[in-house]
Amino acid sequence: MNDFSAKFEEKDATVVLVDDEDMVLASLRSFLELETDYAVRAFTDSGEALAYAREGQVDLVMSDFLMPGMNGIELLAEFGRHQPQAPRVLLTGYADKDSAIKAINEVGLFQYIEKPWDNTNLLVVVRNALERRFLVKALQDKIAEIDRAEGKLSGLQNDILKTFI
């Protein structure tokens, strides 16, 4: 599924990572930065992540589930309000799997990834989510372009009607 004409540029994709554990965040971040050209924004504090969500570019957000204060599902739900176009991925320990499954429908999760995660699998999930996000964007752009072209078409038609009939 990687041979599509609307394929996105990795460097155009911003991935937001949220985990209260520095170690986890750092390893996720360096892994993504090593393997891809995504722009990675990492936050240990959910408040700061949400502040970023209000203003910055977000093409995908991945959050840990167990965090002090707001948990990952609540955070991703809130993220969705600010960045509805960005797919959301949850990182969960095995014990929290049921919560993750519940969140799939309630929050509209793209996928959950169990800890300890498999790097290749994580990369595939992130890649698929981003591809979906950019496919949808390309689709919206095309629809807008069609609207504009249709507008020009009917404008031309009106000109012809006014001038000649």
Q: Which residues bind another protein (CB under 8 A)?
A: 1-4, 6, 97, 101, 104, 108, 110-112, 118, 120-121, 124-125, 128-129, 131-132, 135-136, 138-139, 142-143, 145-146, 149-150, 152-153, 156-157, 159-160, 162-165
For residue 52, the minimal CB distance to another protein (Å) is: 25
Indicate the residue among 66 and 104 with the shorter CB distance to another protein. 104
Choice between 11 and 142, CB closer to another protein: 142
Q: CA 141 to CA 103: how far, in whole Å?
A: 30
Closer residue to another protein (CB): 55 or 120 = 120
Nearer to another protein, 55 or 98 (CB): 98
